């Protein structure tokens, strides 16, 4: 936006050009951070932490040495950039320095300053400053970043927050219908997001024509699936008892999966399963990456429970149906499904903030997973669009008391999408691969890329 005209004919005039980032609409019912308060917060941060402290905190987060680091990496990288640019060193007086800090504080986003002054990132900086050993830092960090607690309100919303939420929803034209959620099924998965899929299980969803007639809804008795010929069973115990081949996730995708006909994952008795859910067609986008064509998100059902409750076999091999990125990466395709992944510089310049904020995560979808319990809507504050954050306690309360809806003809749609994730901080995945010639090999993912 520009006030005044830069040129009129051959004449140049005084004009002001405002950055788009400063022309945001105020969210009704939500108090925003004033520039004076932002300046005081940034001044305190710059006074409290030296460049060496900031560099060490950045190193721990950048190297994925701490869980859920990607949520905090943008803020610490921004703070490090202020020092690296040495902009404040050029100020000749204290007044000039204060003016520069005000300008920087006014131009940044509120969440960066909030993270640096409170919460996990502030605790990390204080621990690094105090010289705390890494084991203690990790324990404190994990406690604060517990996914069941992170950014989630710990008390019921106030009457004022409920009223603000009602005003906000009316202005954004969001209705109860837009809040509805159901399990994502295999028939909902866009073809372009699948990095690998089982030839035996997923093809049937798309190739079998829809039947017509009075009894078209009746499910016939399942016939025996033709098994893919593999190495004789008397040799399988030798394969499972020998040490697995160590491999990176990136190399698994590029070198192994193209010739894989069957993929199995070793599942421990209490594994942290992840479930994908979605909104209904035509509803408004609520999550940061949502669009008209992608209303999917995810949730973990509390603490890792017995996998037998979800129709999985513990301490043995379970078949993988599909490998794909998490929903927040779908609009980054093909960059997020092509390995090796783009360089760090390319990611920062070419990806949206929610790609790196939520991390490069991929789901190994397990065949036949069930979820008997009717879960909440799982509208988590850490995933919602920024305009909803001021009323997140009300949205969370509504989400917790409202159930997901039952999917009709679930079996015909391939079942629900659920499994175990792979990301830069998880190296515990063990897979058994059967190739197109019948050979079997066991792999242990030891690095991401």
- The per-residue pLDDT string of the chain (449 residues; one tens digit each, 9 = 90 and over) reads 566 777 777 777 676 766 554 445 554 444 566 888 888 999 999 999 999 999 999 999 887 788 778 778 888 988 998 887 777 777 788 888 888 888 888 888 777 888 888 878 999 999 999 999 999 998 888 887 766 665 565 668 889 889 999 999 999 999 999 999 999 999 999 999 999 998 765 555 544 555 556 665 565 655 544 444 444 455 566 677 788 999 999 999 999 999 999 999 999 999 989 999 999 999 999 999 999 999 999 998 877 789 999 999 999 999 999 999 999 999 988 888 888 776 554 545 557 778 877 888 999 999 999 988 777 899 988 889 988 988 888 998 999 899 999 898 888 899 999 999 998 776 679 999 999 988 899 999 988 87
Distances in whole angstroms, Cα of residue 329 to Cα of each of 51, 64, 278, 380: 33, 19, 15, 17
Task: Say what the pLDDT of residue 23 is.
Answer: 47
Rounded to 5 degrees, what angle do the CA atoms 263, 294, 374 make? Answer: 70
What are the tokens at 268? 């421990």
Of 394, 380, 393, 360, whose CA–CA distance to 181 is shortest? Answer: 380
CA distances (Å), origin 287, targets 54, 72, 327:
31, 18, 10
Helical H segments across 35-187, by residue range: 35-48, 51-62, 70-85, 94-107, 110-117, 120-130, 134-144, 159-172, 176-179
Is the whole model's pTM more than 0.95, yes or no? Answer: no
Specify the pLDDT at position 254.
93
Q: Across the strands, what pairs with 341?
A: none
* C-alpha dist (Å) from residue 216 to 123, 205, 206, 261, 407: 60, 15, 17, 31, 18
Q: Could you state, in order of their start, the residue ranges of all structural domains in the chain?
A: 25-145, 175-208+228-447
The pLDDT, as a whole number, for residue 236 is: 62
Query: Under the phi-then-psi rule, with left for phi > 0, alpha for psi from -120 to 50, and beta for the rest, what region is 13?
Result: beta
d(C-alpha 426, C-alpha 273), whole Å:
13
């Amino acid at each position: 936006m520009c006030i005044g005209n830069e040129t009129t004919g051959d004449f140049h005039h005084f004009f002001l050009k405002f950055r788009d980032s400063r022309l945001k609409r105020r969210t009704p019912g939500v108090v925003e951070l004033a520039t004076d308060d932002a300046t005081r917060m940034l001044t305190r941060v710059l006074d409290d932490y030296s460049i060496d402290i900031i560099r060490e905190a950045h190193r721990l987060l950048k190297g994925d040495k701490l869980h859920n680091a990607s949520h905090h990496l943008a803020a610490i990288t921004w703070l490090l950039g202020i020092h690296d640019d040495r902009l404040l060193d050029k100020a000749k007086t204290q007044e000039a320095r204060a003016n520069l800090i005000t300008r920087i504080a006014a131009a940044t986003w509120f969440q960066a300053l909030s993270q640096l002054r409170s919460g996990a990132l502030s605790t990390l900086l204080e621990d690094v400053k105090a010289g705390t050993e890494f084991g203690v830092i990790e324990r404190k960090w994990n406690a604060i970043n517990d996914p069941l607690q992170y950014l989630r309100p710990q008390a019921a919303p106030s009457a004022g927050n409920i009223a603000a939420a009602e005003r906000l929803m009316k202005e954004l034209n969001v209705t109860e219908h837009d809040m509805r959620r159901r399990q994502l099924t295999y028939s909902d998965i866009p073809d372009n997001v699948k990095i690998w899929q089982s030839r035996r299980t997923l093809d049937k969803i798309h190739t079998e024509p829809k039947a017509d007639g009075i009894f078209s809804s009746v499910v016939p008795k399942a016939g025996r699936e033709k098994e893919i010929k593999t190495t004789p069973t008397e040799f399988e115990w030798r394969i499972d008892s020998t040490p697995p081949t160590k491999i990176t996730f990136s190399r698994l995708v590029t070198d192994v999966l193209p010739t894989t006909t069957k993929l199995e994952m070793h599942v421990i008795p209490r594994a942290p399963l992840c479930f994908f859910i979605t909104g209904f067609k035509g509803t408004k986008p609520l999550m940061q990456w949502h669009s008209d064509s992608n209303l999917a998100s995810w949730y973990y059902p509390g603490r890792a429970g017995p996998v037998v409750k979800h129709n999985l076999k513990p301490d043995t091999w379970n078949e993988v149906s599909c490998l794909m990125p998490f929903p927040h990466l779908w609009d980054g395709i093909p960059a997020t499904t092509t390995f090796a992944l783009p360089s760090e510089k390319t990611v920062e310049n070419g990806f949206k903030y929610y790609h790196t904020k939520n991390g490069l995560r991929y789901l190994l979808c397990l065949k036949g997973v069930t979820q008997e319990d009717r879960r909440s809507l799982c509208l988590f504050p850490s995933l919602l669009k920024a305009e909803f954050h001021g009323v997140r306690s009300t949205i969370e309360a509504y989400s917790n008391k409202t159930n997901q809806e039952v999917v009709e003809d679930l079996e015909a749609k391939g079942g629900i999408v659920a499994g175990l994730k792979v990301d830069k901080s998880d190296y515990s995945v063990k897979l058994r691969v059967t190739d197109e010639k019948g050979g079997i090999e066991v792999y242990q993912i030891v690095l991401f890329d």
